[in-house]
Amino acid sequence: MQSSGISSLAITSASQSQSAPTRKRLALDGRSAAIDSRVDAVRPDLADIRLADRVFAPHYAAPMPRVIHFETALRISSKGAEPALTTLHKGDVFEVLEIAGTHAWGVAPGPGLVGYVDASALGETE
């Protein structure tokens, strides 16, 4: 009886292995990827889904493109005390990864920078 169970298991495994898609295996080897928080949308709690093959994060977010409705500063933090990285102008696109309170965090694809903007400056995509 035992041998019939083993042989049916072997047949099942063989048939599954022929039809199962191959998966890319990831391994932790070599050096870590260099991350620059000014251009790579990665924080300790959240990362851009487009970086999932390079970084590990507890949560990933898909970018939501929004149009800037009035000139606003792109800053490195939501506190607003530091100088602006750049100024986004009306009509520019901002890829939102998170909105929290009065600020949105994401990517400004024009200048290729990551930071925070005033959430009230964001509108729907046109």
Residue extents of the structural domains in the chain:
28-123
Name the CATH topology of 28-123. SH3 type barrels. (2.30.30)
pLDDT at position 37 is 85
- In sequence order, the β-bridge partners of residue 60 are 47
Given a cut of 50, whether residue 3 has pLDDT beyond it is no
Residue with tokens 């070599």: 30
**Residue 14: in which H helix or E strand, if any?**
helix 2-19
Q: Is the distance from CB of 80 to CB of 88 less than 8 angstroms?
A: no
Phi, psi of 67 (to 5 degrees): -100, 135
Q: What is the pLDDT of residues 26-52, one digit of tens each?
A: 666 666 678 888 899 999 999 999 999
Q: Is the distance from CB of 96 to CB of 104 less than 8 angstroms?
A: yes
Residue with tokens 């046109």: 126
Region of poorest pLDDT, from 20-24, 26-30, 91-95: 26-30
Interatomic CA distance for residues 15 and 96, integer angstroms:
45
Given a cut of 60, whether residue 14 has pLDDT beyond it is no
pTM of the full structure: 0.73
